[in-house]
Structure 1
Amino acid sequence: MPLIQISVNQSRIEINPELLEKKAEQILNALGYTDVELSIMIVDDEEMTHINREYRKIDSTTDVLSFPMWEGDFGDVCMDLLGDVVISAPTAELMSREHGLPFSAIMDLLLVHGILHLVGYDHERGDEEAREMESRSIELLKMLGHSEKDFDWYLNPDDEPTD
């Protein structure tokens, strides 16, 4: 069973750490990562901007960041440590309002996205990898009880809307 640590470093938006942990465990189990450690941090936009500036040299907030522990010179030191997912609660809340989805659905989306990055998926490495990540995201979101059409705006941002 995965070991999951949740830190809620903001107080404006109510977060259910137990539910978040349960969802993360479902995602990791579905991906076959049953014996790993995962850290999830929920922050405000100010802290997310600070983290984004420090690690990516981008001076703005973002929805989710992933910090895989298996990359870099010492990635093989402790294979139990999967990495960290950082989610901005205010950005998730804004996305929820803009797209008419429950806040919990957006949190599921960002959690799936962050964890997929930790296990090696990367939509920024070309179209084929983007399609792979999209497909896996849809599969996991359906497993969590969501409809893929609810997240088309996120998973396919360059597609023209169809009616």
Structure 2
Amino acid sequence: MLDIDISVEAGDWPEEETLQSIAAAAADAAFAELGIGTDSGPELSLVFTDDPHIQALNLAWRSKDKATNVLSFPAFDVAPGDPLPPMLGDIVLAEETISSEATLEEKQFEHHLTHLVVHGLLHLLGYDHETDEDAEEMEAIERRALARLAISDPYG
């Protein structure tokens, strides 16, 4: 089983039990889509925070002085298909940005959050969207993982 550690630092987030459920469902769907078993019990950390905190992280780590919806910090350098390391890394999510995006895009908050957990997890597993080809591959995995949860295409 995947061991998910949740930390709510700031923001108007749902109850921790709800966040745990969303995170587990997102991870299970992503792993199922990738055909990855989690018998080895890797760890995943999710930090639920606000825009000022994620903006500071985005500036420090990516030299971008603005808030963003999700940041991923892999614990180990892995490529798609590599064996899972014991610790996958950290996914940091910003409540205000996610909430405003969900409203603007007319999506349920929980569905948008689930998508961003899947997206962040794929980054921890070595996927990225730096090239068009990589973006197409990553987005296709996201679509299929979310479809497993009856969540519509986030890019549609």
For 2:73, the equivalent position in structure 1 comes to: 67
Q: Over residues 96-144 of structure 1, what are the superposed CA-to-partner deviations in whole Å (9 max), with x where a residue is unaligned?
A: 11011110011011111100111011111x1221111011011111012
Q: In structure 2, what is the Cα distance between the partners aligned to 1:83 and 1:27?
A: 18
Q: What residue is the counterpart of 2:3 in the other structure?
A: 3
Aligned equivalents of 1:40, 1:69: Cα separation in 2: 13
Q: For residue 118 of structure 1, what is the aligned residue in structure 2?
A: 124
Q: Matches of 2:67 and 2:6 in 1, distance apart? A: 20
SS of structure 1 residue aligned to 2:155: helix
Q: How is 1:99-114 mapped onto 2 (pairs within 5 angstroms)? A: 99-114=105-120
Please give the root-mean-square deviation of Cα atoms over the aligned residues, in Å. Answer: 1.9
State yes or no: 1:82 paired with 2:88. yes
Please state how far the C-alpha of 1:28 moved relative to its aligned partner: 5.0
Look up the SS of the partner of 1:152 in the other structure.
Answer: coil
Structure with larger RCO (C-alpha < 8 A, sep 6+): 2
The answer (yes or no) to whether the contact 2:74–2:123 under 8 Å persists in 1 is: yes
CA displacement at 1:2 relative to structure 2: 0.7
Alignment: residue pair count = 145
CA distance in 1, matches of 2:87, 2:14: 28
Decide which structure has the larger Cα Rg and report it. Answer: 1
Q: Residue 56 of structure 1 corresponds to which residue in structure 2?
A: 62
Q: What SS class does the counterpart of residue 91 from structure 2 fall into?
A: strand
Q: Is the 8 A contact 1:45 1:91 kept in 2?
A: yes
Q: Percent identity?
A: 34
User: Aligned runs of 1:14-163 on 2, under 5 Å?
Assistant: 14-15=14-15, 16-27=18-29, 29-30=31-32, 31=34, 32-34=36-38, 35-71=41-77, 79-124=85-130, 126-148=131-153, 151-152=154-155
What SS class does the counterpart of residue 20 from structure 1 fall into? helix
Amino acid in the other structure paired with 1:131: E
Amino acid paired to 1:152: Y
Name the CA shift for 1:129/1:37 in 2 (closer, same or farther; >3 Å).
same
TM-score computed with the length of structure 1 as normaliser: 0.81
Name the CA shift for 1:33/1:121 in 2 (closer, same or farther; >3 Å): farther
| Structure 1: 4+ residue segments shifted above 2 A | 11-18
TM-score of the superposed pair, with normalisation by structure 2: 0.85
Aligned position for 1:160:
none
